[in-house]
């Protein structure tokens, strides 16, 4: 391979020609290109054609380009991609391309080599899976996942291998040079469900979260079992059947524990290192994302080097580091990591499937044995089904969330085989395993069958199983509305009744994490902001601000603030009034202007008209579109191709804001001893209703309404400052703080937070207290610090969005300052923003 | 698990609770563990705050109303029987129960009507047995995104009430509510399989 990098042009071309006949990915281009260069002299040439010089990387880049273009092509037609999984399309494309190459070259020049697969294509996919793993769900179901991954895989391998051997003995397969151990070896490599294939297919089939995590987790974790079984049987085959002793079997079992636990340990160690390193990258932000990739890749290579389970290592590296890394690195780096990881994984997956197709077009590897192929297909399906049913039967006695028949069907059917099996089978040594080619062709058939056929049919199957009784009837408004309400109720009740168990262990762990791990692995600033709801709130605000500014930029100016018609007020609710003394603030002035600007009578009239004309259909449509979705419907746990959809976050943001606002109001009323269901609550509701109407409908009566409203608010304030002491208040209040902190914790698990936000850690910056808007002062007198803590971020009534706080993104800073300049100086944080 | 069995022993009135709610012993034990986990300070009852600590409820549009429904009549404490009684509404309906149930006994908490009643009281804030237009509007506000204008909301509320309102009083009574949903498989929609 020396010639590839040889400097001399003439030499190089000659060498390239020689090499073209040699091994590895060779270009078709070689044959068309070199005619003129061939006769090149040794003298100086102005332009030289140095194909050889770039050959390998060039070909790789071209393949990636082809695969990516193909992906674009697939998605041009929504119909195709909604029916056929992408992985199946890619395999078919690979077959076609392979056919073309074969027709042109007469030998199959390209194939997926195990080295490339295991060293370059698999790691990004698995790292991506680990890094974006929904941890809570994963560990909540860890027992189940492990059972399926370990026992299930051993069961599949053993039964498939033994049954095939049994049939072989009966003579149905004809004359083959295979022994029992070869069958078991084959069984072990064909047994494992493949993470790449499973993800590619399940991504498009939206099954419930528990089911998803079980199938997904199983496919990731069974790698250790596969590797061990594969290694054990391979060495047994090498030894020869008669020389295998009981000691070797025991060693095999021991090696399973060593390989799996060792791999996991390596992963955890590297996760620890990675978290620790990112803690100190404050001044080298630009290479921060690099650490994530390099260190996790090293974990993979290290465990490969120690012949431990590399997949487990990199999976657990991703799982364990995600929390700390996300907290440590800057927001930009976090985004970079996210996108790069998705890009690498998605690209690797595309290439894998395409090359699976291409590799299959090679006359040399095909050795057909109908009985063997068909029986393999039969056995892997049947034994998987039996295995799943047996294990589920056992598991359901212990599981809180029962796995029902439908789930089991999906689990059986989701047992897709993929590139891991292919790479392993190609790795076999032909001298030891005489029927290697038969194994290879059977494996390819199995992969194609599971990915294409099962992949195609699993979606209709899931739909068919779920929608058992499809009624052709338009639901009535009531049904639609209440139906959605039921969904929300159910998900709330699930949360309350503790859908996912293991609370005790989780509490212990989070205690340990808070006391030790986070202290070591997280920046001090990140530690602070993590435990607070303020951080969550800050993030929400930041998002609001960004969308707000983006909207402004889209329109060329920020002038739209003044005419807040509802459709451009994405989340931003500036126009809620701030009563009494803050008149001077900019936002107040802006709002005052609003009433004048809003009187665009014509558009107003139009809108009214259209609403008056609105048919039921429109109403239905509106509901359909804007009713909040319950959690199950929108929460995609893990997606290779997409990052979390904006919509969901927006919804969460909205509801979160609303809920918090309401709770704060009820704190207030609880403090006063007024039953929240009665007077105050009603008053507040009326008040809010007015505000809402005020904010969202530009109508002519605005001035009257707002004066009315001011009145109401004053009345409310009077009432609130009425009584000072109430029973239970302190109790509730401290609970409230705890509650806020806890929410922050809970929410923080799924929201990446790379923000240092000192202004939001109230304990450390007492100066914030004086930044409380003056109109809050009456209440302040009672328990100053606590109330202040509660009310800085979300003042009741208007929630005080976009209140002054330090942003780590500088671009929006100045804009935000405009909203509350009077408070900014007080909020000066002890630590400056980092960049 | 030693801690579990000791918990089980401490559940007050296990048997009568089982009778009343239809939960199995195991479910009750599990719920008791959950109850104790939610009660972080170990005070023996739950306050609103304890439930509000569940992060996911903060992003559930009906979260607070559902929390409220655990505290009937403005009470501040939720004991274990009360906790279980509310959850019992969501126990799946099992077929064999229906067949041999004594008609004289009160309807089980997880009957269709009781499931509906639970949902109904989430709307009916003033407890007058009717969902007024105003109450419907409030519920809509909670459940619909900010993209929808108030006018649209009002029109939706109007239509919804009109559609279900049969006696023309401008409000939805419980019977009207149940009737408007008669085609819906409430037994399935309002059941959680883990609450067996």
Asked whether the beta carbons of residue A497 and residue B47 sit closer than 8 angstroms, the reply is no
DSSP A48: -
pLDDT recorded at residue B84: 85
CB contacts of B163 in chain A (<8 Å) are 476-478
Which of A465, A489, A512 delimits the end of a domain?
Answer: A465
Q: How many CB atoms lie within 10 A of CB A469?
A: 5
Q: Are the C-beta atoms of A212 and A202 separated by less than 8 Å?
A: yes
Residues 6+ apart with CB under 8 A from B133: B157, B158, B161, B170, B171
A and B: number of Cβ contacts within 8 A: 221
- Residues A636-685 pLDDT 10s: 456 666 655 555 666 677 777 777 777 777 666 665 554 444 444 444 44
Asked whether the beta carbons of residue A491 and residue B194 sit closer than 8 angstroms, the reply is no
Q: Are the C-beta atoms of A826 and A771 separated by less than 8 Å?
A: yes
pTM: 0.62
Closest residue in chain B to residue A611, using alpha carbons only: B152
Q: Are the C-beta atoms of B171 and B131 separated by less than 8 Å?
A: yes
Taking each helix axis from N to C end, the angle separating A180-191 and A153-169, rounded to the nearest 10 degrees, works out to 140
Q: How far is B64 from chain A (nearest CA, A)?
A: 7
CB contacts of B195 in chain A (<8 Å) are 497
Q: Domain check: are A446 and A511 in the same one?
A: no
Rounded distance between C-alpha atoms, residue A444 and residue A111, angstroms: 13
Q: Are the C-beta atoms of A542 and A809 separated by less than 8 Å?
A: yes
CB contacts of B162 in chain A (<8 Å) are none
What are A423's two structure tokens?
Answer: 């790479």
Interchain contact B47–A (C-beta under 8 A): yes
HSE (side-chain half, CA atoms, 13 Å) at B26 = 10
Q: Are the C-beta atoms of A537 and A805 separated by less than 8 Å?
A: no
pLDDT recorded at residue A272: 93
Of all residues in chain B, what percent are helix, strand and coil, respectively (each to 5)?
Answer: 60, 5, 40
Residue with the two structure tokens 């042109």: A104
Provide the sign of the torsion angle of the four alpha carbons B39, B43, B49, B51, taken in this order.
positive
Q: Domain check: are A221 and A321 in the same one?
A: yes
Asked whether the beta carbons of residue B160 and residue A735 sit closer than 8 angstroms, the reply is no
For chain A, the residue count is 835
Q: Domain check: are A457 and A504 in the same one?
A: no
pLDDT recorded at residue A487: 79
Q: Domain check: are A281 and A398 in the same one?
A: yes
Q: How far is A726 from chain B (nearest CA, A)?
A: 14
Instruction: Determine, yes or no, domain membership for A347.
Output: no
Interchain contact B51–A (C-beta under 8 A): yes
Asked whether the beta carbons of residue A659 and residue B64 sit closer than 8 angstroms, the reply is yes
Q: Which domain holds residue A298?
A: 114-338+362-465
Q: Domain check: are A164 and A207 in the same one?
A: yes
Rounded distance between C-alpha atoms, residue A695 and residue A606, angstroms: 18
Q: Domain check: are A534 and A390 in the same one?
A: no
Q: What is the CATH number of the domain that holds A168?
A: 1.20.1530
Closest residue in chain B to residue A650, using alpha carbons only: B145
Instruction: Determine, yes or no, domain membership for A461.
Output: yes
φ, ψ of residue A632 in degrees (nearest 5): -60, -35
**pLDDT values of chain B reduced to their tens digit, one per residue, 196 residues:** 334 444 445 677 778 888 878 887 877 887 888 888 888 787 888 888 888 777 777 777 788 888 888 887 777 888 888 888 888 888 877 654 544 555 556 677 778 888 888 888 888 888 888 888 888 888 888 877 777 778 778 887 888 888 888 888 888 888 888 888 887 777 777 777 666 5
> What's the mean pLDDT when you consider all of chain A?
68
Question: Which residues in chain A show pLDDT less than 70?
Answer: 1-42, 241, 400-401, 466-475, 498-507, 525-544, 548, 551-627, 629-651, 666-835
> What's the mean pLDDT when you consider all of chain B?
77
Q: Domain check: are A411 and A514 in the same one?
A: no
Specify the DSSP element, H or E, that contains B130: strand B130-132
Q: Domain check: are A426 and A534 in the same one?
A: no
Which of A440, A465, A490 delimits the end of a domain?
Answer: A465
Q: Are the C-beta atoms of A478 and B166 separated by less than 8 Å?
A: no
Q: Domain check: are A191 and A131 in the same one?
A: yes
Instruction: Determine, yes or no, domain membership for A294.
Output: yes
Q: Domain check: are A438 and A517 in the same one?
A: no
Asked whether the beta carbons of residue A477 and residue B160 sit closer than 8 angstroms, the reply is yes
Instruction: Determine, yes or no, domain membership for A352.
Output: no
pLDDT recorded at residue A716: 41
CB contacts of A728 in chain B (<8 Å) are 76
Instruction: Determine, yes or no, domain membership for A474.
Output: no
pLDDT recorded at residue A134: 84
Instruction: Determine, yes or no, domain membership for A439.
Output: yes
Which of A491, A521, A548 delimits the end of a domain?
Answer: A548
Instruction: Determine, yes or no, domain membership for A454.
Output: yes
What domains can you pick out in chain B, each with its CATH number? Answer: 14-88 (1.10.238.10), 109-196 (1.10.238.10)
What is the number of domains present in chain A? 2
Instruction: State the ipTM, two decimals.
Output: 0.89
Q: Are the C-beta atoms of A643 and A709 separated by less than 8 Å?
A: no
Rounded distance between C-alpha atoms, residue A28 and residue A110, angstroms: 10
pLDDT recorded at residue A162: 92
pLDDT recorded at residue A443: 92
Instruction: Determine, yes or no, domain membership for A559.
Output: no
Rounded distance between C-alpha atoms, residue A113 and residue B99, angstroms: 63
Asked whether the beta carbons of residue B56 and residue A495 sit closer than 8 angstroms, the reply is yes
Q: Domain check: are A168 and A306 in the same one?
A: yes
What are A766's two structure tokens?
Answer: 């007492």
Interface of B with A in 143-172 (CB under 8 A): 143-152, 155-156, 159-160, 163-164
- Closest listed residue to residue A418, CA positions, set A209, A232, A202, A135: A202
CB contacts of B149 in chain A (<8 Å) are 566, 607, 611, 696-697
pLDDT recorded at residue A775: 39
Asked whether the beta carbons of residue B59 and residue A656 sit closer than 8 angstroms, the reply is yes
Q: Per residue in B89-116, is it b (16+ CB within 10 Å) or e — as a string?
A: bbbbbeeeeeeeeeeeeeebbbbbebbb
Q: Domain check: are A451 and A509 in the same one?
A: no
pLDDT recorded at residue A160: 92
User: Which 3-state string (H, E, C) describes B74-97?
Assistant: HCCCECHHHHHHHHHCCCCCCHHH
């Amino acid at each position: 391979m020396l010639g590839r990098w040889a400097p001399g042009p003439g030499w190089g071309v000659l060498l390239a020609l020689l090499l073209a006949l040699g091994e590895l990915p060779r270009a078709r281009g070689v044959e068309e290109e070199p005619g003129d260069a061939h006769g090149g002299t040794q003298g100086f040439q102005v332009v030289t054609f140095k194909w050889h010089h770039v050959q390998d990387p060039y070909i790789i880049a071209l393949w990636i380009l082809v695969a990516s273009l193909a992906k674009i092509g697939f998605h041009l037609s929504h119909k195709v991609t909604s029916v056929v999984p992408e992985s199946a399309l890619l395999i078919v494309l690979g077959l076609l391309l392979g056919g073309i190459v074969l027709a042109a070259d007469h030998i199959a020049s390209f194939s997926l080599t195990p080295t490339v697969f295991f060293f370059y294509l698999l790691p990004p996919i698995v790292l991506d899976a680990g890094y974006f793993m929904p941890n809570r769900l994963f560990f909540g179901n860890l027992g189940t996942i492990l059972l399926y991954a370990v026992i299930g895989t051993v069961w599949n391998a053993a039964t498939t291998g033994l049954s095939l051997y049994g049939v072989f003995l009966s003579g149905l397969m004809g004359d083959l040079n295979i022994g029992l151990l070869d069958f078991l070896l084959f069984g072990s490599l064909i047994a494992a469900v493949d993470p790449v294939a499973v993800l590619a297919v399940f991504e498009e089939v939206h099954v419930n979260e528990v089911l998803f995590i079980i199938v997904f987790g199983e496919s990731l974790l069974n790698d250790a079992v596969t590797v061990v079984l594969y290694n054990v049987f391979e060495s047994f085959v090498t030894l020869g059947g008669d020389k295998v002793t009981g000691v070797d079997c025991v060693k095999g079992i021991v090696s399973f524990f060593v390989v799996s636990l060792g791999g996991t340990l390596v992963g955890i160690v590297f996760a620890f290192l990675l978290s620790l390193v990112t803690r100190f990258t404050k001044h080298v932000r630009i290479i921060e994302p690099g650490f994530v990739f390099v260190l996790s890749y090293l974990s993979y290579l290290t465990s490969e080097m120690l012949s431990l389970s590399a997949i487990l290592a990199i999976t657990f590296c991703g799982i364990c580091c995600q929390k700390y890394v996300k907290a440590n690195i800057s927001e930009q780096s976090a985004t970079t990591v996210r996108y790069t990881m998705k890009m690498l994984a998605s690209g690797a997956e595309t290439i894998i499937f395409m090359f699976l197709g291409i590799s299959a077009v090679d006359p040399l590897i095909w050795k057909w044995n109908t009985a063997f192929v068909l029986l393999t297909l039969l056995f892997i399906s049947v034994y998987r089904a039996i295995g799943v049913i047996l294990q589920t039967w056992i598991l359901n006695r212990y599981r809180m969330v029962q796995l029902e028949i439908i789930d089991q069907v999906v689990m059986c059917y989701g047992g897709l085989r993929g590139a891991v099996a292919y790479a392993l089978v190609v790795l076999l040594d032909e001298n030891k395993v005489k029927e290697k080619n038969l194994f290879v062709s059977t494996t390819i058939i199995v992969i194609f069958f599971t990915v294409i056929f099962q992949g195609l049919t699993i979606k209709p199957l899931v739909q068919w199983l779920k929608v058992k009784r499809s009624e052709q009837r338009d639901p009535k408004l009531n049904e639609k509305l209440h139906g959605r309400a039921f969904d929300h109720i159910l998900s709330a009740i699930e949360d309350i009744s503790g859908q996912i168990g293991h609370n005790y262990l989780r509490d212990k762990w989070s205690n340990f994490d808070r006391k030790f791990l986070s202290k070591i692995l997280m920046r001090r600033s990140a530690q602070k902001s993590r435990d607070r709801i303020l951080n969550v709130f800050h993030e929400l605000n930041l998002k609001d601000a960004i969308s707000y500014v983006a909207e402004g930029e889209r329109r060329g100016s920020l002038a739209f603030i003044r005419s807040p018609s509802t459709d451009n007020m994405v989340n931003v609710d500036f126009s809620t009034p701030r009563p009494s003394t803050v008149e001077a603030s900019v936002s107040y002035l802006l709002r005052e202007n609003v009433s004048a600007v809003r009187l665009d009578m014509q558009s107003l009239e139009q809108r009214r008209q259209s609403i008056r004309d609105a048919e039921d259909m429109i109403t239905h449509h509106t509901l359909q579109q804007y009713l909040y979705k319950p959690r199950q419907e929108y929460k995609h746990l893990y997606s290779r191709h997409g990052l979390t959809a904006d919509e969901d976050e927006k919804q969460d943001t909205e509801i979160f804001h609303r809920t918090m606002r309401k709770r704060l109001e009820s704190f207030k009323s609880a403090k006063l001893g007024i039953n929240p269901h009665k007077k105050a609550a009603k008053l507040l509701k009326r008040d809010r209703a007015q505000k809402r109407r005020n904010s969202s409908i530009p109508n002519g009566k605005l001035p009257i309404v707002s004066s009315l409203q001011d009145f109401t608010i004053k009345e409310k304030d009077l009432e609130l400052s009425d009584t000072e002491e109430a029973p239970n208040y302190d109790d509730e209040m401290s609970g409230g703080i705890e509650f806020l902190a806890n929410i922050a914790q809970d929410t923080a698990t799924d929201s990446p937070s790379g923000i240092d936000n000192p202004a939001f850690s109230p304990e450390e910056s007492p100066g914030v207290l004086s930044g409380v808007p003056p109109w809050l002062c009456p209440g302040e007198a009672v328990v100053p610090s606590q109330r202040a803590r509660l009310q800085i971020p979300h003042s009741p009534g208007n929630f005080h969005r976009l209140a002054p706080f330090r942003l780590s993104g500088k671009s929006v800073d100045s804009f935000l300052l405009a909203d509350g300049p009077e408070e900014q100086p007080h909020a000066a944080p002890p630590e400056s923003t980092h960049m | 698990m030693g801690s579990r069995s000791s918990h089980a022993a401490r559940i007050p009135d296990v048997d009568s609770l089982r009778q009343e709610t239809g939960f199995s012993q195991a479910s009750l034990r599990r719920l008791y563990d959950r109850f104790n986990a939610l009660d972080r300070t170990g005070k023996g009852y739950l306050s609103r705050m304890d439930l509000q600590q569940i992060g996911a409820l903060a992003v559930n549009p009906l979260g607070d109303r559902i929390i409220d429904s655990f505290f009937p009549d403005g009470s501040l404490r939720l004991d274990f029987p009360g906790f279980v009684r509310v959850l019992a509404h969501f126990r799946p309906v099992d077929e064999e129960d229906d067949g041999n149930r004594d008609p004289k006994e009160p309807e089980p908490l997880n009957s269709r009507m009781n499931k509906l009643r639970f949902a109904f009281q989430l709307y009916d804030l003033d407890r007058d047995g009717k969902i007024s237009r105003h109450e419907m509007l409030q519920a809509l506000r909670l459940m619909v995104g900010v993209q929808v204008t108030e006018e649209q909301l009002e029109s939706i509320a109007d239509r919804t009430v009109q559609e279900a309102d049969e006696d023309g009083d401008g409000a939805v009574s419980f019977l009207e509510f149940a009737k408007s949903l008669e085609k819906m498989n409430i037994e399935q929609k309002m059941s959680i399989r883990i609450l067996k």
